[in-house]
Amino acid sequence: MTVTVSSDLRVEIVVRAARQQAARFSIDPADADVDKAAVIAAIDQDNTRWLACLIAMQGWPGLRLVGPDGAHAAFMLARRAPAPYRACWLRKAQDAARSGDVAARNVDQMAAELAVEQGR
């Protein structure tokens, strides 16, 4: 497999995932602060829109495009997207796994979470 990682895209996806995680870790579960929940929701919505555009234009962001940490970050972002998005993206992620461009375990986890949410 030839790796032609886009460093700008890799940095963008990793930073987005880190920001998403930092927002979640900053919340005290005992504190029902609506403003913090709104911030997280806004981050998730922005990431979903961004990831949807990326996947539509480039396919699933895997090792070849964003390197190992970027490929993992893509799944972190996808986990917070609404189920209909993930259902559409699952086929592309499965194709990427078959070609060795993403870890099959990440795709399996995505499929399992989606199945649970959809009651399958």
pLDDT recorded at residue 107: 97
Which amino acid is present at 58?
Q
Q: Quote the mean pLDDT of the chain.
A: 91
DSSP 81: S
List the domain boundaries for the chain: 7-117
d(CA 48, CA 56): 12
- Which residue's entry shows tokens 């259902």? 87
The model carries a pTM of: 0.88
Q: What is the pLDDT of residues 19-76, one digit of tens each?
A: 999 998 887 767 666 688 888 999 999 999 999 999 999 999 999 999 999 999 999 9
3-state secondary structure 14-32: HHHHHHHHHHHHCCCCCCC
- Residues 60, 94 contacting (CB under 8 angstroms): no
